[in-house]
Amino acid sequence: MKTLAGIRPGRFTIGLVIIAVPLTLALLGPLLAGEPGPRAPSFTLGGGHWLGTDFVGRDVWQQVLLGGRSVVLVALAATTLAYLVALPLGLISALTHRTWLEELLMRPLDVLLAVPSLLLILLVAAVFSPGAVGLSLLVAVVNIPDAARMVRAAAAEAASRPAVEALRMQGETWWRMAVGYVGRSIARTLAADAGVRLTGVLYLVATAAFLGVGVAPDASDWAVMVDRNRTGLFVQPWAVVVPALLIVALTMGSNLLFDAALEKPHRRKGNGCERGR
């Protein structure tokens, strides 16, 4: 069965189905949540609340509708910011002939890379108490070193090709060499890394929110819901299970979509040997 861009329908369809539910809830949920109703007793089932109530008596379904946007927006913002900084750093390091410039750009990143990401976020959060914007910046910063090293490693091979030297001899601009040729050469590698990195960022954002970094203790957030309602897991499991499954579906679905989109088309060349089979 042929599909656009050679994407295999099985993996792509599965990924799309898996990610559709959390993305739809994250984007449209706040529009459908409505006004909060009166609070009921904590950790109860029924009583007009088809997913029960949470640790402070709020409707779990309404909290699910409200809690996804923060996770998705912070993760997407952090991933985008990380690449906006890492991409030029990696390309400059790969294309420069000045060793001192490469050392100046990459060695501070190596120092930052040596510090565990979550530890750095917790240390900064203990001093500055960041909100959602601050959490996006923190997660972006801890992802920049690894992303920049990946870009540099991928770009170094493309930058060593004769085509780049020919462009230099022709007096082409750095922008044309770095973006027009090297950038296009590593596009698939960047896309593959983006899928893995987005999954890692989602995990880091959810973990930070679970620990209370960047969000209020009673915020409408899927990760916060898992943390605050875990004490009533065996009494009212939906308050924990539903947001946890949505976070898992978001990470699994994004990975499957990136994997499917990056698969090379399985095209038959139609030569004599294949026709005879």
Alpha helices of 132-186 — where are they, by DSSP H? 132-159, 162-169, 174-175, 184-185
First-to-final CA distance of the chain: 18
Instruction: Note the pLDDT of residue 173.
Output: 67
pLDDT digits (tens, 9 = 90+) for 54-77: 888 889 999 999 988 888 888 889
Q: Does pLDDT of 122 surpass 60?
A: yes
CB pairs under 8 A, 24+ apart, for 9-14?
A: 11/256, 11/259, 11/260, 11/263, 12/256, 12/257, 12/260, 12/261, 14/256
In a domain, residue 275? The reply is no
- How many domains are contained in the chain? 1
Q: Does pLDDT of 84 surpass 90?
A: yes
Instruction: Note the pLDDT of residue 167.
Output: 66
Given pLDDT bands bounded at 50, 70 and 90, which one contains residue 3? Answer: very low
- Here the CATH number for the domain that contains residue 133 is 1.10.3720.10
Given pLDDT bands bounded at 50, 70 and 90, which one contains residue 264? Answer: low
Burial of 204 (0-12, 13-18, 19+ CB in 10 A): buried
In a domain, residue 273? The reply is no
In a domain, residue 276? The reply is no
Tokens of 131: 């909100």
160 against 42, higher pLDDT? 42
In a domain, residue 136? The reply is yes
In a domain, residue 24? The reply is yes
> Quick check: helix, strand or coil at residue 56?
coil
CA 15, CA 250: separation in Å to the nearest integer? 9
pLDDT digits (tens, 9 = 90+) for 223-238: 888 888 888 888 889 9
In a domain, residue 143? The reply is yes
Instruction: Note the pLDDT of residue 81.
Output: 94
> Quick check: helix, strand or coil at residue 53?
strand
Instruction: Note the pLDDT of residue 40.
Output: 82
In a domain, residue 227? The reply is yes
pLDDT digits (tens, 9 = 90+) for 195-217: 888 888 888 888 887 777 777 77
Q: Does pLDDT of 276 surpass 80?
A: no
Q: Does pLDDT of 168 surpass 90?
A: no
pLDDT digits (tens, 9 = 90+) for 22-35: 999 998 998 988 88
Contacts of 93 (CB under 8 A, 6+ apart): 101, 102, 105, 106, 148, 152
pLDDT digits (tens, 9 = 90+) for 177-187: 777 777 778 88
Instruction: State which residues form the domain around 157.
Output: 4-33+59-267
Instruction: Note the pLDDT of residue 273.
Output: 43
Is this prediction's pTM over 0.85? no
In a domain, residue 48? The reply is no
Q: Does pLDDT of 151 surpass 70?
A: yes
When the pLDDT of each residue in the chain is averaged and rounded to a whole number, the result is: 80
94 against 181, higher pLDDT? 94
Tokens of 208: 């930070």
Q: Does pLDDT of 263 surpass 70?
A: no
